[in-house]
Amino acid sequence: MLKRTIENFLDPKYLEEILASFSKATGLYIEAVNRKGETLAILGNKCRSDFCQFIRSHSKGEKKCIESYKEATLEAAKWNEPYFFRCHAGLVIWAVPIIVDNVFLGSIICGQVLLWKPDEFFLRQIKKSNSALDFDTLQQKVKNLCIASPEQSQAAADMLFVVVNHLVKRTIHTLEEEHAYHLQRLQIKADLESRKKKNSAQFTDYATYLKNERRFLSYIRLGDKTRAESTLKNLLTDLLTKTAGDKATLKSRILELASLSSRAAVEGGADAEQVMVKLQDFNNEIDNIERIEEFFFKVHKVIAEFLDGIFKLADKKHLSLVNNARNFIMENYQKPLTLKATADNLFISPSHLSRLFRLELDCTFNDYLTRVRVEKAVELMKKPEFSVEQVSKAIGFKSQSYFAEVFRKYIGVTPLVYKNSLF
């Protein structure tokens, strides 16, 4: 990782935008400095006071100012809070530290005020400490200094501390996303290279893609996160290959995929209102994206959120039990499976497992088992060699008439009508 500095960490444009607003709201001078006390940027439209500019006009005064900033910046970092100090010229200033992952980068300096009107003692002190400067001129510039009460100064320092922490958290989030995009870019490259080496011909047209897409959506409806995420990775690589990286087409296909996934998640038990809000947020984000790796990262993220929405509780122990039960059903759906047999496999009581299904998936054990069987039936009926009767038996239904009734309830048509529509 590159060595972190305040210059390459904070976004200059956003820093100026936020802190300039702070400066306008408070009327206070503000600047960013590095660990050495050197000024990196004066923020907002407010320049250094005439008094400070005059002090800094002499090389010795400039050096003392930098030393004051450096010392204050180090003290602020030591306590990780605003640090008030009186500079060598007698002005009250405070430093707010910029610390990222326990690494001190610099500070935001604010103030250049007096806490009361300058008196004779103050004037004698600045005359003594700035003997190289014309005192009459210095005395005139003192009259224009801003006077702020201790309460006003403390409130401004506290508010600045909150603003700076917001900037730091925002920048950390941006860096984390950029790192995720980088990993996504590497993954895309690895997937494409793998296909080239294998000379893979598994995806040649949209008919194949749509077949895989239907399988993917069935995994979402069943809440099978592992298989859904694995299939999604292949689908996105398929799209990238088919579209030859054309961003407009790729964006269109990804928006379609997200929309279909949202509906599958609702069918799987996720809250419709929450899913639609997440989908709208995703659509808004995608609209401003240009990089392919961002497309992929964002769609992975929103689909993971859809899948998480299928599960209601955050209790990991409960979630693990339901996941294990679901996997057991998917591996044994063709057998005369019962709630008791599944509960025995997990070493818990049937009543407890039934309660977990209602809490986590908002359905009964039998509802979920039926959902799995219908999804499998849809897959099998796409194979010409299987009759409706054979499909019914293959997925665990003893009665073909009952299978037809259940299938119609979930799909909207009878198995025979559905199968005839495929060929």
Count of beta carbons in the 10 Å neighbourhood of residue 189: 11
Residues 39 and 162 in one domain: yes
Instruction: Give the N- to C-terminal CA distance of the chain in Å, as an integer.
Output: 57
Strand partners, 30: 110
Q: Which pLDDT value is given to residue 314?
A: 44
Residues 339 and 418 in one domain: yes
Residues 337 and 414 in one domain: yes
C-alpha dihedral (402, 407, 409, 413), degrees to nearest 10: -120
CA–CA dist 361, 379 (Å, integer): 23
Domain-ending residue, one of 286, 310, 334: 310
CA–CA dist 185, 179 (Å, integer): 10
Residues 17 and 131 in one domain: yes
Give a yes or no: residue 33 inside a domain.
yes
Average pLDDT across the chain, whole number: 85
Give a yes or no: residue 184 inside a domain.
no
Q: 111 near 93, Cβ under 8 Å?
A: yes
CA–CA dist 79, 102 (Å, integer): 12
Give a yes or no: residue 258 inside a domain.
yes
Residues 147 and 250 in one domain: no
Residues of the chain with pLDDT under 70: 1-12, 196-204, 311-317, 423
Residues 168 and 26 in one domain: yes
Q: Which pLDDT value is given to residue 2?
A: 38
CA–CA dist 277, 305 (Å, integer): 11
Give a yes or no: residue 190 inside a domain.
no
DSSP 190-205: HHHHHHHHHT--S--S
Summary count for the chain: helices (H), strands (E): 19, 6
CA–CA dist 39, 304 (Å, integer): 44
pLDDT (tens digit, 9 = 90+) per residue, 331-347? Answer: 999 998 999 999 999 88
pLDDT (tens digit, 9 = 90+) per residue, 225-254? Answer: 888 888 898 888 888 888 887 888 888 999
DSSP 269-327: T--HHHHHHHHHHHHHHHHT---HHHHHHHHHHHHHHHHHHH-----HHHHHHHHHHHH
Domain containing residue 324: CATH number: 1.10.10.60
Burial of residue 273 (number of CB atoms within 10 Å: 0-12, 13-18, 19+): exposed
Residues 224 and 345 in one domain: no
Q: Which pLDDT value is given to residue 3?
A: 47
Residues 321 and 292 in one domain: no
- pTM, two decimal places: 0.57
Q: Which pLDDT value is given to residue 403?
A: 92
CA–CA dist 375, 283 (Å, integer): 28
Residues 41 and 164 in one domain: yes
Domain-ending residue, one of 157, 175, 193: 175
Give a yes or no: residue 186 inside a domain.
no
Phi, psi of 95 (to 5 degrees): -115, 135
H/E element holding 163? helix 150-198
DSSP 76-111: HHHHTS-EEEE-TTS-EEEEEEEEETTEEEEEEEEE
CA–CA dist 234, 203 (Å, integer): 10
Residues 216 and 171 in one domain: no
Domain-ending residue, one of 175, 190, 214: 175
Residues 118 and 265 in one domain: no
Residues 220 and 248 in one domain: yes
Give a yes or no: residue 137 inside a domain.
yes
Domain containing residue 61: CATH number: 3.30.450
The total number of structural domains that make up the chain: 3
* Domain residue limits at 210: 201-310
Helix axes 225-243, 292-310, angle to 10 degrees: 160
